[in-house]
């Protein structure tokens, strides 16, 4: 800004000098004698023409300097705009990374808080499986493990005994967790890969032992929507192939 102001002042002074010369010596200019290298007979005229020439050259130099300055100003403005754009992109990436980190932390907290109910249900299912395998061969042959667990669940559901109700509530907690997980996946907030890597083993086991009960509960509900998402998740986790490999 300071350099532009100086150039403007110099240009104004040069123009004022030319106007002053024109007023003092009306004939001042590039006479034929001066242009042809012939000395003028009037010294005042000679000096006036010389001053007029110098003033014109100065104006040309100032104009050239102004163009150079304007070019540099434009380049500087472009550099500043590019720097601002880069800073904006860096800030946007930082914001995006912070959001991803916050989302990942929320997912970790969610899995950490919900995993115990899944593990409890798996342990309970393992206990029921041992009870099923302890049945006489003839009785076990007509009942699958899933059917056996479903029957026990119905008994616990209708029982007034506190231990039975506690067992029933543990399984219900696991079903609620499965419903929440499946709903988050179906809404796009979680991927099947996330669920696969965090709960692959436990969910594989629950798919074997709880899927029959989940589907039976869904079938007996008036609108067929009870355990709908848990059914969807347990059915797909067994055949899911992860698309995003873990980083090494």
Confidence (pLDDT) at 189: 79
For the chain, give every domain's residue range. Answer: 2-91, 107-237
**Regions of the chain short of the pLDDT cut 70:** 1-53, 55-57, 104, 107, 200-205, 244-248
Confidence (pLDDT) at 176: 87
Confidence (pLDDT) at 117: 80
Confidence (pLDDT) at 28: 46
Closest residue by Cα to residue 60 from 23, 26, 22, 14? 14
Calpha distance 170→104 (Å, rounded): 27
Calpha distance 116→219 (Å, rounded): 28
Rounded to two decimals, what is the model's pTM?
0.55
Confidence (pLDDT) at 104: 67
């Amino acid at each position: 800004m300071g350099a532009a102001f100086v150039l403007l002042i110099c240009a104004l002074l040069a123009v004022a000098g030319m106007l002053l010369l024109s007023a003092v010596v009306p004939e001042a200019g590039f006479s034929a004698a001066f242009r042809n290298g012939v000395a003028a007979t009037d010294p005042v005229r000679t000096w006036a023409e010389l001053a007029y020439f110098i003033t014109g050259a100065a104006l040309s130099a100032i104009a050239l300097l102004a163009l150079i300055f304007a070019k540099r100003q434009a380049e500087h403005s472009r550099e500043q705009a590019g720097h601002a754009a880069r800073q904006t992109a860096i800030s946007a990436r930082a914001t995006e990374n912070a959001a991803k980190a916050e989302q990942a932390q929320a997912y970790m907290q969610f899995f950490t808080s919900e995993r115990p109910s899944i593990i409890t249900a798996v342990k309970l299912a393992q206990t029921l499986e041992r009870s099923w395998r302890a049945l006489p061969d003839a009785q076990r042959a007509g009942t699958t493990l899933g059917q056996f667990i479903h029957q026990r669940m119905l008994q616990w559901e209708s029982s007034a005994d506190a231990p039975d109700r506690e067992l029933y509530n543990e399984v219900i907690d696991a079903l609620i967790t499965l419903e929440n997980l499946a709903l988050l996946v179906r809404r796009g907030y979680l991927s099947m890969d996330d669920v696969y890597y965090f709960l692959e083993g436990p969910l594989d086991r629950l798919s074997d032992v709880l899927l029959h009960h989940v589907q039976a509960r869904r079938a007996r509900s008036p609108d067929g929507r009870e355990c709908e998402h848990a059914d969807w998740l347990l059915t797909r986790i067994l055949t899911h192939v992860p698309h995003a490999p873990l980083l090494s």
